[in-house]
Structure 1
Amino acid sequence: EPDQSGGAPCPELSEERACNEDPCAVDCKVGGWGNFSECSKSCGGGSRTRNRTVEVEPSDDGEQCPDLEETEECNTQPCDPCAGLSCGLNEECRRSSDNTTATCKCTPPFTRASPEAECMNMQQQQQQQPAVGIPRPVSAESDQQQQGPVGIPSIPSGCNGNCRSMNWFNDTVCDMECFTEECSWDGDDCASEPRMNANQQTENETNRRDIPETCVGDCRDLEWVNDSVCDLTCYNYACGFDGGDCDPGVECTDLASYCKWNETCQSQDDGFGRCESLCSTIECSEDRNEVCEVQRIPEGEPGAGSGVGKCVCAENYVRGDNDECFQVRDCAVAEWKDWGECSKSCEGGVKKRTREVTAEPQGGGEECPELEETAPCNEQPCPVACVVGDWSIWSPCSKDCGGGKRRRVREITTEPQHDGEECPPLSEEEDCNTEPCKTDCTVSDWSEWDKCSEECGGGTQSRTRTVVEPDQSGGAPCPELSEERACNEDPCAVDCEVGSWGNFSECSKSCGGGTRTRNRTVEVEPSDDGDQCPDLEETEECNTQPCKTDCTVSDWSEWDKCSEECGGGTQSRTRTVVEPDQSGGAPCPELSEERACNEDPCGDGRLQGGWLGQLL
C-alpha cells in the first residue's frame, strides 16, 4: 500500500548483492608451430622436432596446455655403409651383399700377410726379396737380433677350408692358422703340421742346419745354442722361441757356423754366441727414403752364397731414373657424389653419379677406377589418369516453383591405374524453377506468458510467436506476432516497520548478574500478508561480577552407627557446602564431627539386652 496523506514513504523495493565472485577459469592458449629442427641423422632414420610457446597460461581449473614439442621421423632412407669408413693405401670399401655393412679390402693385386698387416703386392715382394732363414732366438743376456726381410711362404698343404690367396703364420707352438682376404681373415686350424713346399725346402736347405737328433720335442727348423756346459737348448722362431731341453753329453761346437748367410757371428766371450744382421753396420739415408736390405751374392761373384747389406728403397718406394726413391702411389678417388635426377619419372629411367680423382697414380701405381656410374631408376609403371564420358541430359525439375533440383550423370571410360589422377564427380545437380510460389504467411504457436513486470499493484506480461514461412507472391500477410495483458493487480503487502531502540533500563542487580531491557515502537503496521513486526523489547545480562558471599552449609546428617555395641565407641555425622564463600565472605565451618557412644560396660546385660532382646 503506498503512503498517503503525508505517511512514511515506501522503502527500497529491490536490492542487489554480489555473487559468484570466484575468478573465471582461463584456458591455456598456445601459438603456432615453429619450423622443424635439423634431422638428427642424415640417413638410417633420425628425428626432428618443432616447438610452440604458451601465450596465455591456464588458471582456476582452466584447460591445461597441450604438448609444446612435437617429434617426427626423418631421413629414413638406409645409410651407405661405406660413408664415414676411411680406408688406407691400396684399400677400397666393399659392401656386404645386403648393403648393411662394409669393410676395407685390398685392391688387387695387393693382399695382406696377416690381418694386421698393410696391403702389399706379394708377387712383387717375393720377386724382390730372397728367401731368408728363420731368425736367431733372443736370450736374456743378448741384444735383440736385427732381422732381414722375411719372405712370404706358400700356402701349407695341410690348411683346411675353401680359401684362396692364403697366407699363413705361426700363432702358437706347432699350431698354424689359415688366413684369407676372401674369408674376412677368419682363422681355421690347420689339418696337420704345416710344411714348406718342395721348392722352398730345396732353396732354403743350405740356410739352416739339421735338427740335432738329441733335441727333444716336435719342432721344425730348430736352431740350438750352448746355454750351459754341454747342455743344449732347442729354439724355434716359428714356435715362439720356446726352448725344449736337449739330452746332456753332446759335444759343444763352434756357434759361428750356425749363423745364417745374411748374418755375422759376434763374440762368444760370454759363452753365448750371437748372430747379428749384416745391416747393423750399414747406414742408409732416411731422407732419401732408403733402408738397408741383406742380399745374397749371386753365384760366380766373390762371396757367392753369403750376404751383403745394401741400401734399397723403403717399402712402397721405387728408384727412379735419377736414382731417387719416390713413393709408389695408386690413384685415389673421392666418395661417390649423390645420385643425379632420373632420366624418366616412370617405366624405367637411368640415374648417374660421379666421383673425382683426389690423387693421380705415380711410380707404376694402380690406375684410376671408373669415375662415372649409372643405375636404373623409376622402374614403376606410369600412372594412368581417369577418363570419363560426356554428360547426360538434365532430369526434370523436382518442383514447379519455389526452387527445385535437377540432375545429370556421366560414366567412366578409363579406370585410373598406378596412382593416376582419380575420377571427377560422376553426377551433378543444380537449382531449377527458383521463382517463388504464392504462399500465405504461417506463424508458430504462442509462447508462454513471460514474467509479470510487477509482483503486486498491477503490472503487464507479454507473449510472442515467430514467422514459420513469410507470405510470398501475394499470399496472406502475417498476423500480429506479440500481445500484452495486465497481471498481479492485487494491492501490494505492507511490511511492519519499527523505530530505533531506546536506552537500556537500570540493572536489576548491583552484582552477581542482573538484567536490563530496552524497547522500540512500531512506526508502520503490517498489512496484506506483509512481514510481521519483530520483537519490540530486548533483554541482556548486566553486573555479572560476583557479590560478597558467606559460605553456607547444609544441615547435619544423622549420626552414623556406633563403632562398638558396648564398652565405648564413636559415631560421626557430616554436612556439605551449599554455596562457597566468595569475594571475602565468611569461610565454611567444619563439615564433620564425632562423639562417644555405647559407653556402658559389656556383660550379661549385653546378652539380655542385646541379642536376647532381639530374639524375643
Structure 2
Amino acid sequence: PWGRCTGDCGPGGVQSRAVWCFHVEGWTSHLSNCDESSRPPTERSCFRVCDWHSDLFQWEVSDWHHCVLVPYAQGEVKPRTSECVTAQHGLQHRTVRCLQKLNRTMVASDICEHFAPQPPTEQACLIPCPRDCVVSEFSPWSKCSKGCGKKLQHRTRAAIAPPLYGGVQCPNLTESRACDVSISCPLGEEEYTFSLKVGPWSKCRLPHLKEISLSERTVLDFSSDSNEQVTFRHQSYKAHHHSQPWDIEIGFQTRQVWCTRSDGKNALLSLCMQDSFPLTVQPCLMPKDCETSEWTSWSPCSKTCRSGNLSPGFRSRSRKVKHIAIGGGKECPELLEKEACIVEGDLLQPCP
C-alpha cells in the first residue's frame, strides 16, 4: 500500500510504496527478472495535510434523501402490505463531499478526514405501512338525463381516506350507464356537456404605456369568447431598506380561461359559467434581484510573525446587502471572502 504523504504542506507532498518481483511459485526475486515496462510506480505526488489546513477545507453534507425500502434478497423492492404491522425498515442516503472553502471545489476525502471523520452517508429509517384508499358506498343511480340522444344515469362515491405511503390508489369515484330508452335528436340539436379549462399564470409584468390612461387606470380584456373586462391600477411604492429608497413595483399576472365542448371544440365562455368564476388577472410583485455594495479592500494579513512551519495567514473582504431580493428575484451572493496570504521578508519578528 501507499505510505504516508511526506514533504511540504499542500500539493507538493510525495507518497512512496515498495514494489517486489515475485516468482510464479511465490518466492521473491530480483527486480531485473520482471518486465520493466509493467513495473508499477513507486512514487506519486500527493496533498500533504497540515494542521493549518483546517481553515481551508470542510465537509459538505446534503439533506437526507427519502426513506426507501430495503431490497429483498432477489433485489426486488415493493411494499410488503400483507407482512407489514406498524412500519417497514428502510434506508436513507445523502451526499458527503470534501470541499475547499474558498472556491467550493471538491477535493480528496483524505484531506477532510485528517481533521474530522467522514459523516455517515447512510442510515436506517422506518416507513409507515402502506394505507390503501378507502371509499364510501355508491349513491343510488340518478334519474335518466333529459333531452334527446342517449340518456345516461350516474352514481358517485366519496374518498373517505386517501392512499398513503405507497398504498393502492383510489378507484373511480363516478360510474355511468345508459338508460333503456333513447330518443333520436333532430339534426343539429345533439346534446353536449361543457367544461371550463384554466391555464397557468403568466410571468409578472408591468402594463404597457398604451394600456395606461390619464386616470392611471388600465382596462385589460383577457377573454376570447366573452366580453369580460378586468380593471387594474398600476402602482409604485418607495420602500426604505438601510435608509436607501427603493422602488417596489406592482405588476400583474394573467392566465387563460376557456370553455370546451364534450366533442373537443371550443364553446362560448358563457356556457361554462359557474357560481365562482376563476380569476384571470391578479396583482404581483415585480421581481428585483438582490443588490450588494462593492467589495471592501482586503484586510491585512493575519500572520504578523515568522514561524518555522510556513503556515500562511488569512485575509478577508466583505460587502453589504443594499436591497434584498423580492418577487422571486436572484438571491444575494456570498458576502464574505477569505483567502490565505503569506507576508514575505526577513524583517518579520519570530513568532513566540
Q: Structure 1-normalised TM-score?
A: 0.15
Relative contact order, CA 8 A, sep 6+: which one is greater?
Answer: 2
